[in-house]
Amino acid sequence: MGIVLVVALGLIRLYPVLNKLVIGKIYNNVSGSHPYAERSVLITKATAKTLDVPPDSVVYHDKVRVGVNAVFSTDSYPSPLLIEHIFVLLTIMLTMLLLHLLDKKQEMKLEYEKIKIEKLQNSYNALMGQINPHFFFNSLNGLNSLIRIGERERTLEYLDGLSNVFRYILQSNHKTLVPLDEELQFIKAYTYLLGVRYENKLFFSIQVDEICLQMRLPILSLLPLIENAVKHNIISMQHPLRIEIYTTSENLLVVSNHIQPKMEERVCNGIGLKNLQGRYEMLVGRNIQIDDSNGVFTVSLPLLNVLK
């Protein structure tokens, strides 16, 4: 690449010199034996102008000697027209090489992005593998409690909500961005199941502007946030937990809850939030905002205003 640039710069510096050469024919009287003999010579524009020679020849010569009645020359050189063609050809070749290198760079960038997406997808699949068994067993415990106390209607409602939740989770592998309205329908079914498990201890408030319902966000964005809130906070009759979900005028979906840390809280690597952050960067091109000041844990998710 460096050699090509050096050659190109050299040609650029040489081109004005080559361009000064012109081709001319001189018809001159040679000793009278030949009334007029044609000679092709190498001359400059200045010489051509002095001799009043039209620039239309095609041969150049070296060792030009101008006599009184004649001009003689030997040792041919290439025509400047040929040199100019070579210059143009080399310029085209250099341009093609640069375009090829740019294409290669773009291919490498796309390959890198592909690897990032695959890595993120593997992490997402691993996260889903953790959520499904954990949630499944907790859901069965909730169902078992309803059956034991003989609440038939609530049991049927619970089963209906459970089927909706699992259907949505299973479909998540085939979707990327979904309307907020669709995500909220899932969350309402999910929070109903949690409400049965944490009756009179866990409360949800959902206040969403209607104009935001068709905006998009990565599928299952709310699930890890609610899971984290339930997992890392005390939930009891003395310390009920309230989780709020609402939208702002900046098209942000906010999930917040008061921080009620468990005494035996274990160190958490935050795989759910990291995965959510990575998916947002990849699919939306924006970052989520996390704040834990003033005793409130808040996550703000940008909503994407796109057509279906």
**Residue 110 is assigned to a structural domain of this protein:** no
**Residue 84 is assigned to a structural domain of this protein:** no
Are 161 and 263 found together in one domain?
yes
Q: What is the pLDDT along the chain (308 residues), one digit of tens a residue?
A: 554 444 544 544 444 444 434 333 333 434 444 443 444 444 444 454 454 544 444 333 333 444 444 444 434 444 555 566 777 778 888 888 888 888 888 888 777 777 666 666 666 565 555 555 666 777 777 788 788 887 788 888 888 888 888 888 878 777 889 999 999 999 999 999 998 888 889 999 999 999 999 999 999 899 989 988 998 999 999 999 999 999 999 999 999 999 999 876 554 556 678 888 888 888 888 999 999 999 999 999 999 987 65
**Residue 83 is assigned to a structural domain of this protein:** no
**Residue 90 is assigned to a structural domain of this protein:** no
CA-based radius of gyration for the chain? 40
Q: Is the Cβ–Cβ distance between 213 and 179 less than 8 Å?
A: yes
Are 68 and 217 found together in one domain?
no
Are 32 and 169 found together in one domain?
no
Measured CA angle at 293 (ends 291, 298), to 5 deg: 35
**Residue 115 is assigned to a structural domain of this protein:** no
Closest CA to 182 of 132, 224, 219: 219
Are 177 and 239 found together in one domain?
yes
**Residue 105 is assigned to a structural domain of this protein:** no
Domain of residue 13: give its range: 2-77
Q: Work out how many domains the chain is built from and give that number.
A: 2
Are 66 and 135 found together in one domain?
no
Are 141 and 257 found together in one domain?
yes
CATH number, residue 135: 3.30.565.10
